[in-house]
Amino acid sequence: MFSLSKLNDIISIVEDTRRTLERNVNLSLTFTVMLLKIQEA
């Protein structure tokens, strides 16, 4: 079960990833970084 603060952190990471993808960067690298950030959160 996720705590509310952890869920907010994950939502923030996903929003950051979305903004990164809008800048047309490497898709594979972006998702890898997103997953690493979620694991650290």
pLDDT recorded at residue 18: 96
Rounded Cα–Cα distance for residues 20 and 16 (Å): 6
How many of the other CB atoms lie within 10 Å of CB of 34?
18
Tell me the domain boundaries of the chain: 4-40
Any idea what DSSP says for residue 12? H
pLDDT recorded at residue 8: 94
Rounded Cα–Cα distance for residues 11 and 13 (Å): 5
Predicted confidence (pLDDT) per residue in 1-41, tens digit: 668 999 999 999 999 999 999 999 899 999 999 999 999 98
Collapsing DSSP to helix, strand or coil, 20 comes out as: helix
pLDDT recorded at residue 41: 82
pLDDT recorded at residue 1: 63
Angle formed by the axes of helices 4-22 and 27-40, nearest 10°: 160
